[in-house]
Amino acid sequence: MWQPYCFQPARSSWTFRCPPARTLIEEGAVVALATDFNPGSSFCESLPLVMSLARTRLKMFSAEALTGCTANASHVLGLSGEVGRLASGYQADVLVLDALDWRYLAYHLVETGSPPG
């Protein structure tokens, strides 16, 4: 039976305990990533930020972070036959970016455009 593991604030500091993603991956576990966006406790709706945290804090490779947000996320939700990859017969919302490389997804954290104000 799978059990979710989340970033959790440590008791009296701003540091976070990180799940052992690198160890889990090396032992064959399916690691999924998501924003958990909700108004009560998690205001983050940015998958690029989640991917960046996976790269920098969880020691995941870019391909693992992208897979964690797509194919692995659909797998843990029981939807791997319907969503989670670009393939014939799968449902998808597609965003086309003008980026030099696909790994750019985990590094670009700020939306471009006019600054607020």
Q: Per-residue pLDDT tens for 23-76?
A: 999 999 999 998 878 777 777 788 888 898 899 889 999 999 999 999 999 999
Note whether residue 46 is domain-resident: yes
Note whether residue 75 is domain-resident: yes
Note whether residue 2 is domain-resident: no
**pLDDT, average across residues 90-112:** 77
Note whether residue 117 is domain-resident: no
Domain count, the chain: 1
- CA–CA separation, 27 vs 14, rounded Å? 29
- The predicted pLDDT at position 98 comes to 81
The C-alpha torsion from 43 through 67 and 105 to 89, rounded to 10°, is -100
Tell me the residue range of the domain where 57 lies. 8-106
